[in-house]
Structure 1
Amino acid sequence: MSEAIEPWIEELLQAGLGRDKMTDKQRRIVESAIEVFAEKGYAASSTSEIAQRAGVAEGTIFRHFKTKKELLLSIVTPTMLKMIAPFLLREFRDVLTQDYDSYEQFLRAMIENRLLFLQKNKSLIKIVVQELPFHPELQEQFVQVVLVKVKERLEIVIGKFKAEGQLADLPVMTIIRLSASAIMGYVLTRTLYGTREGADWDDERELEATIGFIMKGLAP
């Protein structure tokens, strides 16, 4: 790939496909597929372009992956999502296992963690965001393997602040949804727009506005 390899890609390549380690050609195919899928999306990608970037014949792709869809699924599920659940949780663990004095303090740590994760794994975010709405099998894997495990940990953190009277008496899932919507709105807008040269974006102002919005909305 043209840039420094992202951490999740390196882990995927080392894990291999199924039980077997990847051959050099398989590695090049997978790396090129990730690059093309992230740039253009699955529908607009072609196996011929993937093969060209990988430096292999197009027929070589089909010796390892029967179809373009199988190539996508080999990257995203089950191999990637089975790997990415512990990867995400490991990245998230420092935030979810710390003791915080307030929900606001927790939110700040969460946002900082997500920004760092996005910066280090841009192609992963692009592929997941682009392809999840169009592939039911990916949606099911993502919910079962990733969201359920993250939700379990968030429930403990949020339950603590509810018990202390810091948050409104709402279902934990409602608090997660409202908080996540605001955080992802800030993080994605900052990533896609705020980092562009000449963008009218005051990062500190937007961050404080986001946290203030969540805290006021969830005040008891």
Structure 2
Amino acid sequence: MADEMEQWLSSLLRLNDEEEKMTDKQIKIIQAAVEIFAEKGYSATSTSEIAQKAGVAEGTIFRHYKTKKDLLISIVTPIMSKLVAPFVLRDFHKVLESEYEHFEDFLRAVMRNRLEFGMKNAPIIKIMLHEIPFHPELQSQFREQIVPKVAQRLERIVEHFQANGELIDMPPMTVMRMGASVIIGYILTRCIINPENSWNDEEEIERAVQFIMHGLTPVRG
């Protein structure tokens, strides 16, 4: 997890640096804030804790960020707009635009792709899960920059396999929501809630796919 945090922090600092040249103290503040936000959550974190971990005076934080919330937004915004959204369009785009013979094949590809993303970006996912429900600005960024970029394509995929007779006649958004619940549930458990468990990802992916396709009803001959 330490290596993943270092990789993610490097990505964040590189994205921020594209906007403005960051000072050494500002970099230390961002690094400290990410680590403490991910561990304790935004509300339970004080600017004095961030300053102490960063090795700077608390007043230094407020010279760069007017409030603690400005610091949070400065961390999440570049990731949302430059890392998460482009990742969805680029890497997830490959999954969404590929041809699949069966809906099961599509589900497996989605789970593998999103699991890889979750494992690489666990710290920011944790912060976003903590904070998006409580900050309208972050909710709006998520709705505007991520959801529309995949929802329409997913709907077309569901409609295609419904027309082929592989899926029941149900509103595509309902199919998407139910499938997403299973997929996201595994990824969050695997990457955030219990990452230390001895997971067999391929077995878990297959179980999730079969659950989405067949539910809990046993097949009767």
TM-score by structure 1 length?
Answer: 0.85
Query: What are the within-5 Å matches in structure 2 for residues 7-86 of structure 1?
Result: 8-16=8-16, 19-77=19-77, 79-83=78-82, 84-86=84-86
Distance in 1, matches of 2:9 and 2:160, equals 35
1:208 matched residue in structure 2 = 206
Q: Name the CA shift for 1:46/1:194 in 2 (closer, same or farther; >3 Å).
A: closer
Question: Percent same amino acid at aligned positions?
Answer: 53
1:115 matched residue in structure 2 = 115
Aligned residues: 214
Quick one: which amino acid aligns to residue 126 of structure 1?
K
Provide, for residues 31-77 of structure 1, a one-character-per-residue CA deviation record: whole Å limited to 9, x for no partner: 22111111110011111221222222211110000110110011123
Distance in 2, matches of 1:82 and 1:29, equals 21
Per-residue deviation, 1:192: 4.6
Q: Name the CA shift for 1:72/1:193 in 2 (closer, same or farther; >3 Å).
A: closer
Q: Name the CA shift for 1:176/1:70 in 2 (closer, same or farther; >3 Å).
A: same
Unaligned runs of at least 5 residues, structure 2: 216-221
TM-score by structure 2 length?
Answer: 0.85
2:218 matched residue in structure 1 = none
Provide, for residues 150-202 of structure 1, a one-character-per-residue CA deviation record: whole Å limited to 9, x for no partner: 212322322322232221222221111010011112222333566435x7x76
In structure 1, the residue corresponding to 2:147 is in which secondary structure? helix
1:167 matched residue in structure 2 = 167
